Each structure stands twice: as C-alpha cells, then as structure tokens.
Amino acid sequence: MSSSLRDLLNARLPLSLATTANQLTILRIVFVPVFIILLVYHELGWALSTFVLAGITDVLDGVIARRFGQKTSIGAVLDPVADKLLMASSILILSLPQMEFHNTIPRWLMIVIIFRDVFILLVSLIVVLMVGWRVFTPSPYGKASTVMQVLTVLAVLYTNWQGQAVPELNILFYTTGLMTAFSGIHYLVRGLRQWHLNE
C-alpha cells in the first residue's frame, strides 16, 4: 500500500467514526456487554431498559444517517454487526435453562435464528464469489423476521422482569420461528436468482 493511500485511509477513518450516526452505532455495540452482564446477574429491569435504549440508538442512527447525509462505508458494516451482536447475545442467554428465568426462549428457536443468519451469510458469500460483489438489500420478510425476533426478546425480558411464567409466549415463539425460517428460504431463492441472472 502506498504512503499516500495509507494517509488517505488514516484520515478518512477517524472522520467516518466521528459522525453522530456512527457514534450511536458504536454506543450500541458498547451496550452489548453491559446487557449481557445485567442478564447474567438477573438485573432484568436494567437489562430490559438497556435493550430498549439500544433499539432507540438503532432507529436514531438510521434516521440521522439518511437525514443529514452521514452514510459511510464503515457505518454500513458496523450497523448490522451491532444488531447481530445484540440479538445473538439476547437470544442465546435467554434460551439457557441454567439461567433459571421464568420464561426462556426455546432451544429450537435459538438454533433456527442462528442457523438462518449463518445460512444467509454463506449464501451471500457464495453469490459474491461466483458472480462478483452484490449489495443484498433487506427483504420485507427479513425485516418482518427481525421485528418478530425483537418482539420475542422484549416479551421474554418483560415477563421475566415481572416474575411471571407466561405459557402463551409459545404462540409468539412459533410465529417468530416460522417467519425466520421463511425469510431464510426467501434469501436463498434471491441468491439463486442473482446467480442465474449473471451466468
């Protein structure tokens, strides 16, 4: 790498991180270990508040990036990473029976969600390797799946905070599982279409 290119990257990276949108994304990443510690120590009210605050930063950084022209390449990477870290840690910990929560996310649902994310990553990687770089925009089913997963985590956190065992959460679990699985299949179909269109 030439010295001029290195100097350019070194100058642009701090500027990209300095945007309000990216700072909110970094704050969301910082929330993840805080959230995990609160869950482990059964500080469920604070854990719920932290999860909600993280969700608010997710909304705000997107609005600010679009409204004030703060979209950056590093932000495009950090934002989904922050989302996945928060959701994966939430679902994983809330599915552990040894945590002895009143309500836990079923192990099968945790596996479906994590498998779907890994599956989409692999399909995207294969498509990129076969046909070149592509931007994979979120599908409506993917967005619906994310919304259902967030609602599931919120519901489990809230009912545990209230100290209530709620069997009716199973309805939410099955709905989330079905939507997650369907969105994974939909991403596979989209990936195959991209592949065939570029053959």
**What global pTM score does this model have?**
0.84
Each residue's pLDDT tens digit, 120-174: 888 777 767 776 666 667 789 989 999 999 999 999 999 999 999 999 999 999 9
Whether 85 and 30 map to the same domain: the answer is yes
- The type of residue at 17 is L
Output the DSSP codes for 56-112.
HHHHHHHHHHHHTT---HHHHHHHHHHHHHHHHHHHHHHT-GGG--SS---HHHHHH
Query: Could you tell me if 7 and 62 lie in one domain?
Result: yes
Does residue 132 share a domain with residue 50? no
Of 74, 94, 114, the residue that ends a domain is: 94
On whether both 7 and 52 belong to a single domain, the answer is yes
User: Which of 31, 82, 86, 37 shows the shortest CA–CA distance to 61?
Assistant: 82
Residues 195, 113, single domain; the answer is yes
Which residue range(s) make up the domain with 84? 1-94
Query: Is there a single domain that holds both residue 67 and residue 137?
Result: no
Number of domains in the chain: 2
Q: Both 84 and 3 in a single domain?
A: yes
| CA–CA distance, 104 with 102 (Å, rounded to integer) | 7
Residue at a domain's end among 94, 126, 155: 94
pLDDT for 45-77, tens place per residue? 999 999 999 999 999 988 888 888 878 878 777
